[in-house]
Amino acid sequence: MSRRVDAFDRWIRTSFVELNTELENLYFARENRADVQGCGERLKTTLRDEGHIHVVSLLAEGNTGDGFESGFGVLGNVGMYLGALRRHELTNPAREHKSPFTEASSLALHVGASLGMAPRFSTTHLSTRNRAVAGVRKSFTSLPDEFLFIDENTRGILCLQRAADALTRIVHLGVSSPVTDVPFRAARQALLEVMEFNSRLFQQLDVDRFFYSVRPYYKPYRVGRQEYRGANAGDFSGINEIDLLLGLCRANDPYYAQLLVDKMLFMPPADQARLRECMTHTSLLDELLSLLPEHSHADWFQRNAAEYLEVCGLFGRLAAQHHDCLVKRFIEAPAARLQGEDLDAITASGPPLPVLLRSLEILRDLRLAADRDDIGSRHADLARLRGAVSESYVCG
Ligand code: HEM
């Protein structure tokens, strides 16, 4: 790591965190917690100027060819800097045609393009590639609720990646293999663990702290001329690998294909490659349905179809938990109390809240294989498979 890369990283892990935390505490003590104008101006200026010195020095150094890890770290750090400037209203895409932070934009564009990623920080920077130093991972603030959010998100992502790995192994074994019990069990276990982390988040995360002091760092912002949507916990390939391998979502469904294209650059290149490869496989559901007419009475079919249905059911319950518990409690409910300007841009991806909620509902219902004929739900196909599995094989 170059000396300048290292210095910027140290700043992001120290002064940057302290300044943001101080600002959050000032905003949170205000009567209107959503109003960040005219408050902590000296702290905001310090944050902007200290970060600028690092950015200018890195921009002058250029791409040092230090490798992926170094470039990826710089992209995350300059992205977190721009995310914080957005959070403190030192920039706002709604009132600007281009970012007022020219040097930071140039640095982010240069590094992002060289890595093949969007020029902003992404979820991976704060989760699975958030390298801890002496026990402390990167964050915007040192608020306990931010640590809780980052850690439970990361745990969830790690388990979803485990489930995706396990299901990928079934592709190579073939869905009729006598040993699919091992990967199906691994997938089941991983999904149950995600549900446990989600429940913990639901119970322990403070609604107002999350809504007013954590989530605003995930707003969209401009890099150069273009506005980039915020990071969200879905920006890793594992969740979509599970969708596609289970067959609950299909890459040729125009709604879902658009979603995949839109998120591609928000994932690290290794995830992009996994997702592309996953799109070439036939889903487990389609494999089972093609075997059903000839083999539905075979013991292997009954066992493996029952295991498949169990994993599908859990995945649907997990999707419902994300939407009906987490999104409702931590976004929909507090947003309902806000009005006018304060309500603007509270979602990470940018669209107005009702639009975002509708699109998340579609994903939930696809994963639940809900009885809807206005989306590409596999409800009828799953019912056909379920109808072919004898009660005695259904997993407890
Ligand atoms: C306080 C907790 C959480 C809240 C309020 C929340 C809310 C949201 C929202 C609103 C989105 C839409 C993207 C956007 O904001 O524009 C989203 C996306 C997503 N979140 Fe969460 N989330 C939470 C925790 C988690 C956790 C722990 C996971 C598990 C890893 C997770 C997985 C996902 C996924 C996979 C997506 C992408 C859409 C999808 O494929 O379903 N979220 N989340």
Q: For ligand 1, is residue 322 a contact (CB within 6 Å)?
A: yes
Q: Which of 189, 197, 132, 198 is nearest to 163 (CA)?
A: 189
Q: Residue 313, exposed/middle/buried by CB under 10 A (0-12, 13-18, 19+)?
A: middle
Cα(158) to centroid of ligand 1, in Å?
14
Q: What are phi and psi of 345, to 5 degrees?
A: 55, 40
Confirm if 160 and 236 have CB atoms less than 8 A apart. yes
Which ligand 1 atom is the nearest neighbour of the CA of 364?
41
Q: For ligand 1, is residue 349 a contact (CB within 6 Å)?
A: yes
pLDDT per residue as tens digits for the range 30-62: 999 999 999 999 999 999 999 999 999 999 987
State pTM to two decimals: 0.95
Q: Grade residue 2 by pLDDT with cuts at 50, 70 and 90.
A: confident
Q: At residue 67, does pLDDT exceed 90?
A: no
Q: For ligand 1, is residue 318 a contact (CB within 6 Å)?
A: no
Cα(326) to centroid of ligand 1, in Å?
8
Ligand 1, atom 16, residue with closest C-alpha: 349
Q: At residue 83, does pLDDT exceed 80?
A: yes
Whole-angstrom Cα distance, residue 183 to residue 179?
8
Q: Mean per-residue pLDDT for 145-158?
A: 98
Q: Grade residue 319 by pLDDT with cuts at 50, 70 and 90.
A: very high
Q: Grade residue 233 by pLDDT with cuts at 50, 70 and 90.
A: confident
Whole-angstrom Cα distance, residue 369 to residue 319?
11
Confirm if 288 and 305 have CB atoms less than 8 A apart. yes
Token pair in block for residue 323: 């939407």
Q: At residue 349, does pLDDT exceed 80?
A: no
| Terminal Cα distance for the chain, rounded | 52
Q: For ligand 1, is residue 326 a contact (CB within 6 Å)?
A: yes
What is the DSSP annotation of 163-205? HHHHHHHHHHH-TT-TTTHHHHHHHHHHHHHHHHHHHHHHHHS
pLDDT per residue as tens digits for the range 325-345: 999 999 999 988 876 656 665
Cα(215) to centroid of ligand 1, in Å?
11
Q: For ligand 1, is residue 157 a contact (CB within 6 Å)?
A: yes
Which ligand 1 atom is the nearest neighbour of the CA of 157?
30
CA distance readout (Å), 308 to 185, 257, 386: 10, 24, 10
Whole-angstrom Cα distance, residue 276 to residue 260?
10
Q: For ligand 1, is residue 314 a contact (CB within 6 Å)?
A: no
pLDDT per residue as tens digits for the range 111-133: 999 999 999 999 999 999 999 99
